[in-house]
Chain A
């Protein structure tokens, strides 16, 4: 699902490379936790994989046809994200001007899933994340936990090959965090997608299939 080979990244003006010669792989249906000190480059790695930052060297192959993100232009990277990647953030990032239903529909519109399928897919997924009946609600009226459920539904609705999550439970209380994590893991496994989850929580890391530690020297 994801294979990163010999990846290097250095920010313009930075004294040294954030990482170089980095390699990792995530198989279909595998959920990998990524931990590491603050500022070591976890978010940057995720952003490189999603094509939001450009890597200096190496290759990042995603999806069933192993498309190399590094070689794509900006528009093609956006198209690749729309097709094969689902994103979950610490800060939820739900569009405040669209209803819950519309928020979840955005990836379907971007990946050109036939219109006739939308209602069914959104309905079942919202049901599964525990938001049945929330279709017409506005994000402003939802709690943090509920917002993150919307975000998870949105990350999964277009059946991406890879889920990228950057501290998905960081803004939630421990009980809600546990619920949300269960949901994310279950639904990802349902769909047979691979996942890379950045976390500071030992508890979260333990529940994943495998844990990678990012340090200044590289991945362990």
Chain B
């Protein structure tokens, strides 16, 4: 029995090489994309977690300020250290400094060698041989090997650390052997760091190790209410969760794309196996007559699918690994998403996920073969032997009345699904709505073909057209298979194009609004030097206007990524000139602190415009008024803007990091020349708004590059499905076509009939696909993107691009139909007529 199954599989591979190979490749593509995305993310997350572990060590609880401007007073730490449940408290100052000659700021950690040995052993330096006798760390800095190499320094070399206007000339004392290959860190004694860069009498964090018998969760719960305002306790592993949360939605979106590729693979298996079953209906009937068990007729088709799926999935794992390697080399670990800025991570495949993706590939293939297998099992033997494949075994009469009922249920269901909120931060209902739209589209195909072509066939048409129309109208199953491939692939492609176009034009407009100044100067994290700030204010500076901004962060929920806190010189009464508000603005009372929140903050933290809320700001519990909601495509996890005057009134220290500059008389060249001495010395970055805009759009385009590859793959698969089914239907109707030939159709007319048939089916498929694509595009822009990323955007349909897509697909469909038509003209008519089969 096994031998027979194997013979049939081998025969199938031999006689339908192209179709089988392409289904196999489609499965491989789906698995490869999914697996590559998994590998890259896994590696990036592991790498990120490892780097974080180096810096954070292994505490039970971390005490930190909820606001980047805040700090933890030493008094609070001392008090905690007296708690008998606390074993060690390691104080840390975590700050950013510049080293002459580097463009980006470096992370400097101030630690206490004794407590760090217990909690953060990887941060302990190995001093060079000539280290000074006084103190363990002394007044020197220690750097990770990667950083030393980047700076071209060795132990004993002198260097100057700068932060704003403060600086610390010191010496490299040695390296940090515990750090990883990609880590770029500086470590020094906490007292020295404090003395040079602050904060006075406080530190950034206290990392707490509890005694073994203490339950960290209970201890946190006990201490949280007693904490001074502006401080928060968090479990050490919250940090890991924050990192995972960071890229989760993006990851899920990519995985859904991979799933789409896998689905199209399943569709190809469906088309191949259905035509394979139809072509071999007499063979299977014969085997049944010879005594093949009915169960085996089902199993054989599934086995054949597995023979496609298993090698396909294996190949996919290989390709996926190669893709992941290539991608991490080119784009880094974030797939262009911009979430992690680690060096290209190491890829280590593990058994369980590899097996999972292998299973997924096989499941897709088996899923695609399920209906053909069932149909094969149901073929009435005696009849199949006599007249061949039965499309609708056992059915009496048409069941088209069920269709309107189906639509009446499904269309409102899709609408309902788009109204549901995200489920644990993921737009699952939105994805389900997309699936429903596709189902409705595919189910509508036979009804539409029958209606349209039924009507057409009543007109008097040229003979080939008449035959083509008749065929499409009468063989809805084949037409449906051919059309459904196009419907699904064109719908997905069109929706993707619509979504990306809508998003891009929204980003374009948004950039206009958020980049009002001709010139921008940015320091990427460290405060700007006072000399520069003073200089731009002087009357001889070539600027008509200067606006300063300081960037900080604010943690409202320890398990979520921190919000961006943006302190700006902005007109409290008219913030609309600087921020792209999405709704009405609310006026605050004169003495009140106003904030303007991004859409993400409104959605994640449920803040409403016009309401008053208490927020942990500047070490206090401050009541703020939400003045409005603005659109922000740059910070997916939320941003809060506060006016400089409010911030300083609360006691905040305004230390600008960015400048927006309006050069006098529009002369940018003069302004650039004037800025040059400052930027060269401080490693600051000056860009025109045009450059920033081009940069943003190029990042945007890069992060959607993957989708274009998928669109192309989907369209190829859809077209291939059309070609396979058309060719198969020619084969299935060989006798009918031969009879037409005998009745006086010449070969050219036969070919024309088949080609017209292909085009008619393609036209129907494209029509429905376009309609579904519009619906899915709307769901993606209005439901999926807002729920997954808190990105809202108006729907913007790129009519020209879509029409070009339709034309291109029709042209490709023409080619696919020609292939089938050529087969029709090559039919050995006499032989077909002579043979019974």
Whether B291 pairs with A82 at a CB distance below 8 angstroms is: yes
Q: Which residue, of B14, B283, B291, B836, has the highest number of chain A Cβ atoms within 10 A?
A: B291
A200 to B292, CA, bound (A): 30
Q: Does A111 contact B (CB under 8 A)?
A: yes
Whether A110 pairs with B4 at a CB distance below 8 angstroms is: yes
Interface string of A88-99 (1 = CB under 8 A from B): 011111011110
A107 to B8, CA, bound (A): 14
Report the nearest B residue to A85, measured CB to CB.
B291
Whether B283 pairs with A96 at a CB distance below 8 angstroms is: yes
Whether A81 pairs with B7 at a CB distance below 8 angstroms is: no
Whether B294 pairs with A81 at a CB distance below 8 angstroms is: no
Q: Does B837 contact A (CB under 8 A)?
A: yes
Q: Does A79 contact B (CB under 8 A)?
A: yes
Within 8 A of B (CB), among A58-101: 74-75, 78-83, 85, 87, 89-93, 95-98
Residue of B1, B4, B11, B291 touching A81 (CB-CB under 8 A): B291
Q: Does A213 contact B (CB under 8 A)?
A: no
Whether B292 pairs with A89 at a CB distance below 8 angstroms is: no
Chain A residues near B292 (CB, 8 Å)?
78, 82, 110
Q: Does A20 contact B (CB under 8 A)?
A: no
Whether A79 pairs with B293 at a CB distance below 8 angstroms is: yes
Whether A102 pairs with B7 at a CB distance below 8 angstroms is: yes
Whether B291 pairs with A98 at a CB distance below 8 angstroms is: no
Report the nearest B residue to A81, measured CB to CB.
B291
A45 to chain B, nearest CB (A): 12
Q: Does A47 contact B (CB under 8 A)?
A: yes
A154 to B290, CA, bound (A): 9
Residue of A75, A82, A102 touching B290 (CB-CB under 8 A): A82
Q: Does B390 contact A (CB under 8 A)?
A: no
With A52-B382, A93-B385 already in contact, the answer to whether A75 and B289 are too (CB < 8 A) is no
A82 to B4, CA, bound (A): 14
Report the nearest A residue to B289, measured CB to CB.
A87
Within 8 A of A (CB), among B361-384: 381-382
With A47-B382, A90-B836, A102-B7 already in contact, the answer to whether A109 and B287 are too (CB < 8 A) is no
Number of chain A residues close to chain B: CB under 8 A: 33
Chain B residues near A82 (CB, 8 Å)?
290-292
Q: Does B282 contact A (CB under 8 A)?
A: yes
Whether B290 pairs with A52 at a CB distance below 8 angstroms is: no
Q: Does A171 contact B (CB under 8 A)?
A: yes
Whether B3 pairs with A109 at a CB distance below 8 angstroms is: yes
Whether B290 pairs with A87 at a CB distance below 8 angstroms is: yes
Residue of B291, B295, B837 touching A107 (CB-CB under 8 A): B291
Q: Does B288 contact A (CB under 8 A)?
A: yes
A154 to B289, CA, bound (A): 12
Residue of A81, A97, A109 touching B283 (CB-CB under 8 A): A97
Q: Does B763 contact A (CB under 8 A)?
A: no
Report the nearest B residue to A170, measured CB to CB.
B836
Interface string of A139-181 (1 = CB under 8 A from B): 0000000000000001000000000000000010000000000
With A78-B294, A79-B293, A109-B1 already in contact, the answer to whether A95 and B288 are too (CB < 8 A) is no
Residue of B3, B286, B291 touching A93 (CB-CB under 8 A): B286
Chain A residues near B287 (CB, 8 Å)?
95, 106
A81 to B290, CA, bound (A): 6
Report the nearest A residue to B1, measured CB to CB.
A109
Chain B residues near A85 (CB, 8 Å)?
291
B625 to chain A, nearest CB (A): 77
Chain B residues near A1 (CB, 8 Å)?
none
Whether A111 pairs with B7 at a CB distance below 8 angstroms is: no
Whether B14 pairs with A97 at a CB distance below 8 angstroms is: yes
Chain A residues near B291 (CB, 8 Å)?
78-83, 85, 107, 110-111
Report the nearest A residue to B8, measured CB to CB.
A97
Chain A residues near B290 (CB, 8 Å)?
81-82, 87, 106-107, 110, 154
A91 to B116, CA, bound (A): 88
Q: A81-B289, A95-B283, A111-B291 are in contact. List 4 more A-B contacts (CB 8 A).
A: A85-B291, A91-B837, A110-B291, A110-B292
Residues of B in contact with A (beta carbons under 8 Å apart): 1, 3-4, 7-8, 11-12, 14-15, 282-283, 286-295, 381-382, 385, 836-837
Residues of A in contact with B (beta carbons under 8 Å apart): 43, 47, 50, 52-53, 74-75, 78-83, 85, 87, 89-93, 95-98, 102, 106-107, 109-112, 154, 171
Report 14 cross-chain contacts, Cβ distance below 8 Å, ordered by A residue: A47-B382, A50-B289, A52-B289, A78-B294, A90-B836, A91-B837, A97-B12, A97-B15, A98-B7, A106-B287, A109-B3, A110-B290, A110-B291, A112-B1
